[in-house]
């Protein structure tokens, strides 16, 4: 799988919706696929590449993650995932 790079971030406060553009310079036509409660991946149907993501109820989702970090819940799956990706990114940068 290719490295995913977020190229744009947009937050709609009224809808509490976080939209991410991934691996492309601008939003692309895509089909949204639910992967977890309120978390959708946007996939270009022609290339089958992930081109974005949408998180509904973003403040709740991010609040849970922030709380897990704040209480040092290092066994929380989301915290572990974040830490693993950071280590991978650092390793790629130093390779």
pLDDT (tens digit per residue) in 31-65 = 999 998 999 999 999 999 999 999 999 999 999 99
Pairing of strands 17-22, 31-36: unpaired
Mean local confidence (pLDDT), 66-94:
90
Output the pLDDT for position 88. 85
Compute, in degrees rounded to 10, the torsion defined by CA atoms 70, 76, 79, 80.
140
Output the pLDDT for position 46. 94
Distance CA 76, CA 29 (A): 34
Q: Full-prediction pTM beyond 0.85?
A: no
Distance CA 82, CA 74 (A): 10
Query: What is the layout of strands, in order, in the sheet containing 50-56?
Result: 6-12, 17-22, 50-56, 39-43, 31-36
Give whole-number Cα distances, 44 to 1, 50, 56, 94, in Å.
15, 6, 20, 32
């Amino acid at each position: 799988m290719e490295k995913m790079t977020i190229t744009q971030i947009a937050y709609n406060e009224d809808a509490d919706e976080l939209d991410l553009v991934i691996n492309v310079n601008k939003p692309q036509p895509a089909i949204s696929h639910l992967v977890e409660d309120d978390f959708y991946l946007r996939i270009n149907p022609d290339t089958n590449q992930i081109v974005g993501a949408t998180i509904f109820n973003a403040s709740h989702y991010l609040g849970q993650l922030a709380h897990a970090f704040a209480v040092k819940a290092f066994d929380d799956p989301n915290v572990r995932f974040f830490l693993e990706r950071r280590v991978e990114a650092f390793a790629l940068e130093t390779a």
